[in-house]
Amino acid sequence: MLRSFTLAIAALASSTALAAPADLIIRDAHILTVDPKFSIASAAAIQAGRFVAVGSDAEVLKIKGPNTRVIDLHGQTVLPGFDDTHVHLTAGEDLPVQVDLTHIRSIKDIQAALRARAKITKPGDWIVGTRGWWEYQLAEGRLPTRADLDSAAPNNPVAIPGPHYIIVNSRALGLAGVTRNTPDPQGGQIYKDAKGETTGLLMDNAGRFVRRFIPRPTEAEKEAGMKRVLALVNSHGLTSAGDPSGTPADAALFRKLRDEGQLTVRVDFAYDVDPALPLDQVEALLKALPKPGSDGDGMFRSDEIGETGLDGAELTALLEHDYPGKPGYRGLQKVPTDQFEKFAALVAKYGYRLRPHAVGDAAIDEALDAFEYANKEIPLTGRRWMIDHAFLLGPQHYARAKRLGLIINSQYMHNYELGALILKAWKRPLADRSEPYAEWLKNGIMFAGGSDGPISYYAEPLLEIYGEVTRGTQWGGRLGPNQGISRVDAIRSVTINGAYTTFEEKVKGSIEPGKYADFVVLSGDILSVPAEKIRDLRVVTTVLGGRTVYGSLDGTVPAGAQ
């Protein structure tokens, strides 16, 4: 039962932390502490970036000093800062040079945006769009083809990358040497029309043909784009984020922003090492990386290898059985099992943790096989290895996952935004098995919530909480309507559970003395609003280590947060 609680200020007063008065006190608040009892408080004191007291107004105000800033929140709801364990912050590096397609609703909209960019782009120079959508979200009910892109920008190579595909025009295909006779690569598919001609859609590993030709932004552009993304996710309440895949150069940019005091999210970073490479190359890359955990300073840490893709997504997830209506088709296996097992063993050997991308049940089998293979040489228990996505993690996997002490980085945002596609591809009852949270909790599966954002999916933890509770979707239906969980469990998934994925549950993830002063102020009470209204709540203020990084604590409400 939710209840108020009393903190023994006298016991704290003798500590070094309280030798000086608090820097900031928030009072008259509805603070959901997310401590082990999910206690409710009304006030919290902050000193040097950490909570030093949490309890009633009267108790906490005892450590007020002459220079303490006291903010009356007039009953507003406060939660720990949100932790999105799978959000592609590095996608923001490309924003300054991309055409913004995040809010388009038709192929005509896409063409109009590309034509506008083509008018100011030299012939022969690349035009690249932001991450996209699936056909059901467009008015035409289909993805654009190379002919559509040719019509908009005939004199430029064009590419629109998505989470598991890239759509390109004829010039881009020509540069990459992709023709009707090019065979599909391992773990990829070159889509073709009824006449055998390429349509411009390159799925999963087939995108590699083109991606190597796309120019990268300058260092200044990358930094500007990263700052835009950090501001975006701060506005959604993120104070911690797990970036599941990046390069040493990406890590260097995060460190630069940290050292300059401009990193406004605590970043858990995973290095991208291609598991399909020859194993001697894999080992050389692992040797060249920093010592795992050597960056752990509270703002940037890295001890993971990810997001090593074992399969695709909704249309190409690797399944144990045939796709409904597609005899003989079970999705794409991106890396042979034997290769991935040896890859996992090398990751363990060099002290890193592994977080593979595995959506389908057969891909999860492959991940577990590889983890067990690695475990024979170096025990994984207690090392908190992870599987990302794991849509179809089911009863056949539970004992193996728990035996290894695994964590699932799950994102209901896939169901929320792409539920119609999941239903189309997998049909019921399989589609209703996508991310069965109630069943996971009942069976002791540890999972943390995220978004797979921020560009094509909403990196909004409030939407994640809404989906975990209601099983609602953007298109209006529900997937696995009996798999909703309590608001308390959903809130834990995007706060303390996220902290657990990085061994930081003792310093963040809840509002308790000694922890980082990371918190958000909401526009309403997430515990009492009707469940369907959770997604209408807004983040009013985001505070990182006692410093406001979005909104204001003085009552100023950012636009759109009403």
Angle between helices 413-426 and 461-470 (to 10 degrees): 50
Q: What is the pLDDT of residue 457?
A: 72
Q: What per-residue confidence (pLDDT) applies to 2?
A: 39
The contacts of residue 290 (CB under 8 Å, 6+ apart) are 302
Task: State residue 4's pLDDT score.
Answer: 41
What's 94-211's CATH class? alpha beta
Does residue 16 register a pLDDT over 70?
no
Output the pLDDT for position 103. 81
Q: Which residues contact 443 (CB under 8 A, 6 or more apart)?
A: 395, 398
What phi and psi values does residue 27 have, to the nearest 5 degrees? -135, 170
d(CA 483, CA 436): 5
* The two structure tokens encoding residue 198: 């390429």
Residues of the chain with CATH 2.30.40.10: 9-80+516-551
Cα distances (Å, whole numbers) of residue 484 to 262, 285, 375, 464 = 38, 42, 33, 12
Mean pLDDT of 54-72: 95
Backbone angles phi, psi at 451, to 5 degrees: -135, -30
Integer Cα distance of 150 and 172 in angstroms = 10
How would you class 21 by CB atoms within 10 Å of its CB: exposed for 0-12, middle for 13-18, buried for 19 or more? middle
- pLDDT score for 450: 96
Tell me what pLDDT residue 52 has.
97
- The CATH number given to 9-80+516-551 is 2.30.40.10
The amino acid at residue 555 is G
Beta-bridge mates of residue 305: 271, 354
CA dist 388 and 359 (Å) reads: 8
- Closest-CA residue to 440 (of 378, 509, 492, 369): 492
Percent of the chain having pLDDT more than 90?
A: 76
- The tokens for 417 are 């935004």
> Which residues touch 392 (CB under 8 Å, ≥6 apart)?
317, 319, 359, 360, 361, 364, 430, 433, 434
For 470-510, the pLDDT digits (tens) are 999 988 899 999 999 999 999 999 999 999 999 999 999 99
The Cα–Cα gap between 562 and 558 comes to 8
Radius of gyration of the chain (CA): 24
Q: What pLDDT, on the 0 to 100 scale, is given for residue 425?
A: 93
Task: Report yes or no: 130 and 97 within 8 Å, Cβ to Cβ.
Answer: no
Q: What percentage of the chain carries pLDDT values higher than 70? A: 94
Report d(CA 101, CA 109) in Å as an integer.
8
Instruction: Assign 210 a pLDDT band (cuts: 50, 70, 90).
Output: confident
Closest CA to 99 of 154, 141, 153, 175: 153
557 burial type by CB count under 10 A (0-12 exposed, 13-18 middle, 19+ buried)? middle
Q: Choose between 175 and 33: higher pLDDT.
A: 33
Where are the alpha helices (H) located in 185-245, listed in sequence order?
208-211, 219-235
Tell me: pLDDT of 444 over 70.
yes
Tokens 């009013």: give the residue.
540
**DSSP code of 81?**
P
Position 262 scores a pLDDT of 96
Q: Is residue 270 classed as helix, strand or coil in its secondary structure?
A: strand
Give CA–CA dist 79/495, Å, rounded.
9
CATH 3.10.310.70 residue ranges for the chain: 94-211
DSSP strand E in 91-173: where? 127-128, 158-161, 165-168
What's the CA gap between 94 and 224, in Å, rounded?
9
- For the record, the structure tokens of 554 come out as 């003085």
Asked if 550 and 539 touch (Cβ cutoff 8 Å), the reply is yes
518-530 residue pLDDT tens: 999 999 999 999 9
pLDDT for 223 beyond 50 = yes
Task: Answer positive or negative: Cα dihedral of 48, 512, 409, 103.
Answer: negative
8 A C-beta contact, residue 511 and residue 44 = yes
Tens of pLDDT, residues 297-347: 899 999 999 999 999 889 899 999 999 999 999 999 999 999 999 999 999
The rounded distance, in Å, linking the Cα atoms of 174 and 179 is 8
DSSP element (H, E) containing 41: strand 40-41
Average pLDDT over residues 109-114: 94
- Residue 12: pLDDT band (50, 70, 90) is very low
